[in-house]
Chain A
Amino acid sequence: MNRIDRRFSELKRAGRVALVPYVTAGHPSPAATVPVLHAAVKAGADLVELGMPFSDVMADGPVIQNAHERALAQGTGLDQVLEMVSAFRRDDVDTPIILMGYANPIERRGVGTFARQASEAGVDGLLIVDCPADEADDLQGQLRSHDIHQIFLVAPTTTDSRLNHAARLAGGFVYYVSIKGVTGAASLDVDSLAPMIKQVRARIDLPVAVGFGIREPAQAAAVAAVADAVVIGSALVDRLDRCESVDEAVVVVREFLAPVRQAMDNSAPVSVEETA
């Protein structure tokens, strides 16, 4: 069974909402990534998203773009990302890892080869930002045969036909983006979230993660009341960017995520029966 599915069914039994931090591999330094991931898990992360550096991150805002540039400048390519995943897996065989990146590096490697290598390294899900469901049919076979779930973004504006298309291909969970714009651009409007998530759930029978624009514990708590998972990216990456050592990065992750975890756990969760 894929680790993502296993993790979400555990969480459901425990009545707990997933905390999913995003970091860019190789940022702020290649040496920091694996310790940062472990620290995130210790601070209460249930799944982790790892960004694969790319030169042209068209859908990302300045914070994550800068992280990619810094990671690339320090030589973090696909091989290094997969090595980081393997290294993480030596000490953690349970926490699901989702790779998030852009299509070209994966195409250059070859989707089949990439899927095999990623699976061997211990990757559980893949989100290709610039590959919407419309263009993703060809990937499906190769990812499935290596037990890697394809994660899709859905937005308030996603049409029914594309939502249905995504539903056919998606595995693990769907990633709901509620703001207009790039990552890190604006703050989330939590109030409009509940009805939208309901719509997505009506079409896709998978856990719904919410991301883009979540910056602080109170927001995370509000989102946790309506979603199955809370993704935190830019706010964390921004803090990591200022770290000058691995130790500092580890402390920053802990100090940032622990209160988020606590706020999520204290927020009155919608009961499991109601959301199911």
Chain B
Amino acid sequence: MVEQALKLEQREALPDLGGHFGIFGGRFVSETLMPALEELDAAWRRYMKDPDFLAEMDRDLAHFVGRPSPLYLAENLTRQVGGARIVLKREDLNHTGAHKINNTVGQGLLARAMGKRRVIAETGAGQHGVASATIAARLGMECVVYMGAEDVRRQAVNVYRMKLLGAQVVAVESGSRTLKDALNEAMRDWVTNVDDTFYILGTVAGPHPYPAMVRDFNAIVGREARAQMLTEYGRLPDALVACVGGGSNAIGLFYPFIDDTEVAMIGVEAAGRGLSGQEHAASLCAGRVGVLHGSRTYLLDDDSGQIRHTHSISAGLDYPGVGPEHAWLKDCGRARYVGVSDTEALEAFHNLTRTEGIMPALESAHAIAYGLKLAAELPQDQIVLVNLSGRGDKDINTVAELEGIEF
């Protein structure tokens, strides 16, 4: 506890100038990528202090995205579990259907301010790809989205959506043909075309400044939620629950609460078919410290240090690494991380849909599943705030397929 307090005291300085959160983070990239990262770092530091830039971002978040997103007291669910009250932060109501747009609005405006005419992005489920294509359409920029060939097949509707928005979708055939390979490919494009290209990374992973920058763009979620709790409930929640793929919706919610040490923070990873086997994507629960995609963090690899294939029912959580700030929050004990299986997530998907009339994204369903478990254990005067990071429309085909339904 003393150690935690000490580490938390130092956190104002985190990350340091090299992007380190304690031993985590940093910039583990080839020298060829350094100038791109340094240019981005300088621009981010500059524009995050520029009142005109911030005002424009706020306007877009209000009028284009539809912020603030409401808090919703899930009374039926609360009655069902008979414990703490369950409150949902409704990021599913954002334009394009998830928290991902908070980040792409910020990075899109930054790209324009830096004079770039082309944006690129990686995507797994397609949500970040759609959010990037959306902002590119609005800002009149060329957009290329890298997507693992396997995900292109699984997420055909989102691929078409990106194309409608004018983006070019490139199917990545290397490695495991999923999100991690799409990220590699986007980095390769960026280092080659950095003069006119901005890489919109979709989560709090990657080399500095991405983990800190994407956190800052998503922290609007936590800032709003904190203020809404105080106005609507006259108090802070007792626990925050959010799903963790790379960790952007979770850190967005957690970050403004870090100093409220009476508020518990729980990140929910994809336990897939079980943490005891290999078919999951829970790098914090079941991984170890290593280096992936430019930062030191928890990851899933084999004994010879090769990055492992992962599995989750939800493409957005199917990633072998995690943002370095989560690694740091885990090690200093400020947040804890748990796993929720495919089956539990699917059950929560149906439960929320039938009980409250809200269909969650399969990613968010992981958070709902744990939120219900936690609320059941807590007294009725407590409040569990769950981040509903996205809506489930994109997952209807996946769910139908699992139930053996053909259209």
Question: Which A positions have Cβ atoms within 8 angstroms of B?
Answer: 54-59, 61-62, 65-66, 69, 72, 77-79, 102-109, 129-132, 134-135, 152-155, 157-159, 162, 177, 180-182, 185-186
Contact = CB atoms under 8 A, between A and B. Distances in A.
Contacts of B191: 59, 180-182
Question: Chain B at the A interface: mostly helix, strand, loop or mixed?
Answer: mixed
Contact of A180 (B194, B289, B291): B194
Interface of B: 18, 26-35, 38, 174-175, 180-181, 184, 187-188, 191-192, 194-195, 289-294, 299, 301, 303-307
30 contacts: A55-B175, A55-B307, A56-B180, A58-B29, A58-B30, A58-B188, A59-B32, A59-B33, A69-B175, A79-B304, A102-B291, A103-B291, A104-B291, A104-B299, A104-B305, A107-B289, A107-B291, A108-B303, A108-B305, A109-B305, A131-B28, A131-B291, A155-B31, A157-B35, A158-B34, A162-B34, A180-B191, A180-B192, A180-B194, A185-B192
Contacts of B30: 58-59, 129-130, 132, 153
A69 B172 CA distance: 14
A107 B38 contact: no
A104 B292 contact: yes
By Cβ-Cβ distance, the 9 closest A-B pairs, closest first, are A105-B305, A108-B305, A59-B30, A181-B192, A157-B35, A77-B304, A153-B31, A103-B291, A55-B306
A78 B188 CA distance: 25
B30 to A, nearest CB: 4
A58 to B, nearest CB: 5
A56 B31 contact: no
A103 B35 contact: no
B307 A69 contact: no
A132 B29 contact: yes
A54 B307 CA distance: 8
- The interface centre, meaning the residue of A107, A109, A153 with most chain B CB atoms within 10 A of its CB, is A107
A56 B289 CA distance: 16
Given A59-B32, A158-B34, A132 B27 contact: yes
B32 A108 contact: no
A131 B181 CA distance: 20
Contacts of A158: 31, 34
Contact of B27 (A102, A134, A152, A180): A134
A135 B35 contact: no
